[in-house]
Amino acid sequence: MYVNYMKTIRERYLKLGYQPYRWFHAEEDSVPFTPLFKKIKECRVGLLSTSGAYSLGQSAYHYKDDSSLRSIDKNCPPEDIRFSHITENYLTSPRKDPNCILPLGPLLRLETEGEIGELAARVFSCMGGIYSQRKVIEEIAPEIYSRFVSQEVDVALLVPM
């Protein structure tokens, strides 16, 4: 079934009392390229999913501009992963198999097989449907970066929803 994502998001935000969503456009030269100085087999890998994932016992996300983050143990069992997101209609598959949007299982397998150095002890999730671009740029992105730095992450896998 085809879903017009742009129309769905616009309608959802209007129902929440926001003005029509303004899609972000980064300046072409605003994202610097940083070469990897280690082999991936030697790297600690961080993970961020914008799927609204959280683990059993943590609070679900609320929908109106929830800019909070969840820290999830890398060994959290798949049956303990939950999702709460403004775009609920896109969560059917992740609720059946969380690895499709929070790939803990595949990354742990790569760690075991020696294909990556290791997966960081804590992985992170936020709700990607955050209306405030200012919050993302000034608060959320720096906080995620800080959390990756504190875990000495060499490279991060960003999984958007």
d(CA 32, CA 7): 32
The pTM is what?
A: 0.81
Mean pLDDT of 85-104: 76
pLDDT average, residue stretch 54-79: 90
Cα–Cα distance for residue pair 161/156, rounded to 1 Å: 16
Query: What confidence score (pLDDT) does residue 100 get?
Result: 86
- For 68-85, the pLDDT digits (tens) are 999 999 999 999 998 886
Over residues 132-158, mean pLDDT: 93
Q: Are 36 and 154 within 8 A, CB to CB?
A: yes
Which has the higher per-residue pLDDT, 84 or 129? 84
Q: What pLDDT score was predicted for residue 91?
A: 67
Residue extents of the structural domains in the chain? 38-159
